[in-house]
Amino acid sequence: MRAAKLPGSELDLAGQVIELVRRLAGPAAAAEVTVTRAELALTRFANSFIHQNVGETHRTVRLRLHVAGRSVASSGSVGTPEGLRELVERTLAAVRLGPPDPVWPGLTPPAPIPPGAPVDEATAYAEPGDRADRVRAFVAAADGLETAGYCRTTHRSSAFANSAGHSARGQTAEAAMDGIARTGGSDGVARLAADRLADLDGSALGARAAGKARAATDPVELPPGRYEVVLEPAAVADLLQNLSAYGFNGKRHHEGQSFAELGTAQFDPMVTLVDDPLDRSGPPFDVEGTPRAALTLVDAGVTAAVAHDRRSAALAGATSTGHAVPGGAAWGPVPRNLRLTAPSTEAVRQPGFGDARTGAVVDPDTTPLLVGVRRGLLVSDFWYTRVLDPKSLVITGLTRNGVWLVEEGVITRAVRDFRFTESYPRALGPGAVLGVGPALARQPDRVDGVWWEAPALHLTGWNFTGGASG
């Protein structure tokens, strides 16, 4: 006999879980539950043809309980009433065995939830052929170079409820494309995320990746040292990701493990950092049900805030900023929708030396920053970055997908990849930023709903400590 499926919306199911907790654990149990229905689709290509198209739809229930001074959270892909009851019983058994939780912050009280960004129906319910069209255009624009990458679309519908009477719901949709083009010995990359699949131009991305790959052939090897740099948005996204996780994390800040000093001019005045989930496809509430809103972390160089969930806010004597994430009790709250801008919307740069002839190496929004480079490097991308010192956020990693020497504002040669070791806050510190590109490129993360809106940056220096092979 086939088991009955769960009826109702995500919000209905969240309410059912709260009612089950009341019946099985009594009114003294504090419970919060998030139910998410996710439709995830991925079209992957390699050797210039599509080799995989996958799609899945699943509904996940996450339950957190606080009973008799102990807290625990569990989750599962639940599809039947029996499975829902088993999840509640399993979580109740676990919480009775869990360690005491002396800093339990309580439940989020009822509060209005802001409307999220509008969901594009064509993206939410995209067909495989819609993604294949972008891949076909990418491959064609590479004009014979070997290509690989993916195009993905996602749609999530979420609801939250807790035993304090608070509830919320919202939905998001996102599209992303990430691809490389390859010659015999060089690669070029192009990637972009958007709220609408229609905003992903596979032809433009493929042409950019191919142009960069061709321009990166026959690289020369330069000695390690401190070089002036122009970082493209893909590289800047790595800065934002690490600054977010380690610097603007309220738990790490309270424990003295973060570089952030509130009210201090730790960054160049040209740097403003805002976490703004509702400007794009971020959910309007976090996993504790706290409403989300734009949060300015750095205001014209001054560190203005760190992100908090309810637990870190209680410890710090602050208020949750709506940044609770699964596993946050151990890791802490993380802003995951960062945008870096300059106070002015136009690129700011030093007086020029050359005419910034670039060919197909960079896009027009990066070109103005090259004009002010006397002798430095244009860097496309960072990868394999690892934290050496969390407090000062010293990172080591590698360049990839293209590095070029820039002399008197003109790109002169492709350069072999480097290993670098650099403090990210210091690299963006007072006097260190010579220019911020006028346009933002939204860079996708491995997880949908997480993104980094980054411009190109012109920095006074970056520490390259060796070749990529050692």
Task: Return the DSSP state at 387.
Answer: E
CATH fold of 10-212: PmbA/TldD fold (3.30.2290)
| Residue 245: pLDDT over 80 | yes
Closest CA to 116 of 274, 292, 276, 278: 278
As annotated, the residues of the chain forming the CATH 3.30.2290.10 domain(s) are 10-212
310-344: per-residue pLDDT in tens? 999 999 999 999 999 988 888 999 999 999 998 76
pLDDT tens-digit map of 117-174: 889 999 999 999 999 999 999 999 999 999 999 999 999 999 999 999 999 999 999 9
Tell me the percentage of the chain whose pLDDT exceeds 70: 94
H-helix or E-strand containing 433? strand 433-436
Rounded (10°) CA dihedral 235, 123, 148, 203: -90
The confidence score (pLDDT) of residue 329 equals 84
Q: What is the pLDDT of residue 286?
A: 95
55 CB contacts (<8 Å, ≥6 apart)? 39, 40, 41, 42, 128
Report the candidate in 245, 210, 51, 179 with the shortest Cα–Cα distance to residue 444: 179
pLDDT of 14-38, one tens digit each? 999 999 999 999 999 999 999 999 9
Helix or strand (DSSP H, E) at 89: helix 81-97
Does 292 have pLDDT greater than 60?
Answer: yes
Task: Say how far apart CA 369 and CA 364 lie, in whole Å.
Answer: 10
Q: What is the pLDDT, as a whole number, of residue 353?
A: 53
Q: Which residue type is seen at 297? A: L
In the prediction, which pLDDT does 29 show? 95
Q: Give the bridge partners for 171, in sequence order.
A: 157
**Cα gap 90→200, rounded to integer Å:** 44
Q: For residue 307, what pLDDT is reported?
A: 98
Residues 456 and 367: beta-carbon distance below 8 Å = no
Rg (CA), the chain: 24
Is 345's pLDDT higher than 80?
no
Can you name the residues that pair with 227 across neighbouring β-strands?
462
Residue 2 in this model has a pLDDT that exceeds 50: no
- Is the pLDDT at 470 greater than 80? The verdict is no
Local confidence band at 430 (pLDDT 50, 70, 90 cut-offs): very high
CB atoms within 10 A of CB 279: 14
Query: Mean of the per-residue pLDDT values for the chain?
Result: 92
Strand ranges, E, within 195-288 = 225-231, 272-275
Q: Cα-flanking dihedrals φ and ψ of residue 70, to 5°?
A: -125, 145
Q: Please give the pLDDT value at position 180.
A: 97
